[in-house]
Amino acid sequence: MSLEQLIRERRTIRKFNASPVSQKLVMELLLKAEQLCPYEGEARWRYVYAGTPEAREKLASYVSEKIMDSKMARLTLNKLMKSFHKRFMEAPANIIAVVKTDPDPIKKKEAYGTLCRILQNFQLLAWEQRLGMVWITGPAPFIQSEQFHKRIGLQKDEQFVGLLQIGYFDKVPKGRTRTHAERLWTAIES
Ligand SMILES: Cc1cc2nc3c(=O)[nH]c(=O)nc-3n(C[C@H](O)[C@H](O)[C@H](O)COP(=O)(O)O)c2cc1C
């Protein structure tokens, strides 16, 4: 498969089949993704992995527990919570990508950008092996909550970048239309 074809054909996968995913493979692909990514300075990120059914159950409960504290929310969000829980239990492997913040705003942005590039490399390398994933940043307050970040062990000087749910799949969803690059282009006139 050519590089262009790989980039073009990769799709976000939200529905996984029951095939198990090897932690070793995920780690190898992630390390390779890191090695293939250009960056300045030292690595300022880390990953939290949840692959066993027990770990996934924990992760699912971390997402919902703050919300389920409230009786009102329990009643209104019950259906949503159930579908969220199901999604977590159906994803064989989960990676949480975490970056260190920096008092220097430029360094902070650079580290965040680098980790995003690594994750995209990882998505592509995994796709080559027919391993799919969805990169999740929302919705708030499930994923973007202080409680969830505390539970997954985020330190004060760390920022959550994304949760990747990973697994094998049977069906590839259709791609979405993209904004044409020309519409995003401004040339400085001479
Ligand atoms: C930074 C980032 C954040 C995303 N957050 C979510 C999310 O919170 N929930 C979700 O279902 N998909 C999420 N996605 C997946 C996108 O919806 C998906 O990439 C987009 O629809 C394009 O589809 P494709 O990856 O198949 O090209 C995210 C993707 C990226 C790159």
Predicted confidence (pLDDT) per residue in 105-145, tens digit: 999 999 999 999 999 999 999 999 999 999 999 877 778 88
CB neighbour list of residue 160: distance below 8 Å, 6 or more residues apart: 96, 97, 98, 143, 144, 149, 152, 154
Could you tell me which of 46, 59, 74, 54 has the C-alpha nearest to residue 159?
46
Answer yes or no: are the C-beta atoms of 111 and 102 closer than 8 Å: yes
Confidence at residue 67, expressed as pLDDT on a 0 to 100 scale:
66
Q: Which amino acid is at 163?
A: L
Which atom of ligand 1 is found nearest the CA of 138?
Answer: 8
C-beta of residue 49 within 8 angstroms of C-beta of residue 26: yes
Atom of ligand 1 nearest to the CA of 119: 31
Single-letter amino acid code for the residue at 5? Q
Ligand 1 contact, 134 CB (< 6 A) = yes
Alpha-carbon gap, residue 45 to 27, rounded angstroms? 14
Residue 56: predicted pLDDT: 94
**Positions of E strands within 26-150:** 45-50, 93-100, 131-136
Q: Which two tokens stand for residue 38?
A: 């250009």
More confident residue, 146 or 116: 116
| CA nearest ligand 1 atom 30, residue | 135
Locus of tokens 């239990």: 89
Q: 112 C-alpha to center of ligand 1: Å?
A: 17
* pLDDT of 1: 85
Buried b (16+ CB within 10 A) or exposed e, 54-81: eebeebbebbbebbeeeeebeeebeeeb
Domain boundaries along the sequence of the chain: 15-171
> Is pTM beyond 0.85 here?
yes
Residue 180 Cβ inside 6 Å of ligand 1? The answer reads no
Q: Whose CA is nearest to atom 29 of ligand 1?
A: 135
What percentage of the chain carries pLDDT values higher than 70? 96
Task: Return the pLDDT at 84.
Answer: 79
Q: Is the CB of 136 under 6 A from ligand 1?
A: yes
- The CATH number of 15-171, from 1.10.10.60, 3.60.21.10, 3.40.109.10, 2.40.50.140, is 3.40.109.10
Q: What is the pLDDT of residues 37-87, one digit of tens each?
A: 999 889 999 999 999 999 999 998 888 776 666 677 777 777 777 887 888
Tokens standing for 39?
Answer: 């960056």
pLDDT score recorded for residue 28: 98
Is the CB of 138 inside a 6 Å radius of any atom of ligand 1? yes
